[in-house]
Structure 1
Amino acid sequence: MAKVVVVGSCNCDLIVRLDHLPREGETVSGGEFFQCFGGKGANQAVAAFQAGAQVTLIGKVGRDRFGESYRESLMGLGMEAQDLLQDESSPTGLAFILVDRTGKNQIAVASGANLRLSTEELSLLSDRFLEARVLLVQLEVPLPTVKYALELARDRGIQTILDPAPVPPGGLPSDLLSLVDILTPNEAEAEALTGCKVEGLEQIRQAGQRLRSQGIRSALITLGARGAYLQTATGEEFFPAFPVNAIDSTAAGDAFNGALAYALSEGRSLREAVIWANAAGALATSRLGAQPSLPTHQEIEALLALHPA
Structure 2
Amino acid sequence: MKKNILVIGSLNADISISMEKMPIIGETVFGETIKYSNGGKGANQACAIGKLGGNIEILGCVGNDELGKKQISNLVKYNIKTDNLKIQEGIPTGTAIIYVDKNGKNSIVVIPGANNFCDINYLRKNEESFIKSDYLVLQLEIPMETVEYSIKRGKELGKTIILNPAPAPENISEEILKNIDYFTPNETELKHLAKLEKIDCIEDIEKGAKYFLDKGVKNVMVTLGENGVLLVNKEEIKHFPAYKVKAIDTTAAGDCFNGAFVLGLSEGKSVEESIVFASKASSIAVTRKGAQDSIPLREEVEKVKD
Into which bin does the TM-score normalised by the smaller protein fall? over 0.9
Aligned to 1:23: 24
Distance 1:277 1:148 in 2: 28
Asked if 1 retains the 8 angstrom alpha-carbon contact of 2:38 and 2:70, the reply is no
Aligned residue runs from structure 1 range 74-153, under 5 A: 74-153=75-154
Match of 2:195 in 1: 195
Q: Which residue of 1 aligns with 2:48?
A: 47
Q: Residue 216 of structure 2 corresponds to which residue in structure 1?
A: 215
Q: 2:142 is paired with a residue of what secondary structure?
A: coil
Between 225-234 and 80-89, report the one with greater CA deviation.
80-89
The equivalent of 2:59 in structure 1 is 58
SS in 1 for 2:90: coil
- TM-score computed with the length of structure 1 as normaliser: 0.95
CA contact (8 A) 1:4 1:56 kept: yes
Letter in 2 for 1:268: K
The C-alpha deviation readout for 1:13-57, integer Å capped at 9, x for no partner, is 011111111121222224111001000000000011112211000
3-state SS of paired residue (2:226): helix
- Following superposition, the deviation at residue 130 of structure 1 comes to 2.5
Q: Secondary structure in 2 aligned to 1:271? A: helix
Contact 1:2/1:56 (CA < 8 Å) preserved in 2?
no
Unmatched tracts of structure 2, length 5 or more: none
For 2:16, what is the secondary structure of its paired residue? strand
1:225 paired to 2:232: no
SS, match of residue 136 in structure 2: strand
Identity of aligned residues (%): 37
> Quick one: which amino acid aligns to residue 281 of structure 2?
A
Aligned-partner Cα distance in 2 for 1:3–1:73: 20
Name the SS of the counterpart of 1:130 in structure 2.
helix
CA contact (8 A) 1:2 1:131 kept: no
Please give the secondary structure, in 2, of the residue aligned with 1:245: coil
Shift of 1:113: 0.7
Distance in 1 (CA, whole Å) between partners of 2:161 and 2:248 is: 31
3-state SS of 1:79 partner:
coil
Q: How far 1:100 sits from its partner (Å)?
A: 1.2
The one-letter code sitting in structure 2 at the alignment partner of 1:238 is: H
**In structure 2, how many angstroms separate the alpha carbons of the residues matched to 1:235 and 1:82?**
41
Alignment-derived partner of residue 178 in structure 2: 178
Letter in 2 for 1:190: L
Q: Name the SS for the 1:70 alignment partner.
A: helix
| 1:113-161 residue CA offsets vs partner (Å, 9 max, x unmatched) | 1011111110111111223221110000011111111122212221110
TM-score scaled by length of structure 2: 0.96
1:198, CA displacement in angstroms?
A: 2.7
Q: In structure 1, how many angstroms separate the alpha carbons of the residues matched to 2:233 and 2:31?
A: 47
Please name the residue that 2:74 is paired with. 73
Per-residue deviation, residues 100-123 of structure 1 (Å, max 9, x unmatched): 111011110100110111111101
Q: Write the distance in 2 (CA, Å) between the matches of 1:201 and 1:129.
A: 37
* Inter-partner Cα distance in structure 2 for 1:83 and 1:25: 44
Q: CA RMSD in A?
A: 1.3
Structure 1 segments of 4+ aligned residues over 3 angstroms from their partners: none
One-letter amino acid of the counterpart of residue 252, structure 2: A
Secondary structure of the 1:31 match is strand
Q: Quick check: 1:193–1:211 contact (8 Å CA) kept in 2?
A: no
| Aligned pairs, number | 304
Moved more, 1-10 or 132-141: 1-10
C-alpha distance in 2, partners of 1:259/1:209? Answer: 24
Q: Secondary structure at the match of 1:107?
A: strand
For the residue of structure 2 that corresponds to 1:208, the secondary structure is helix
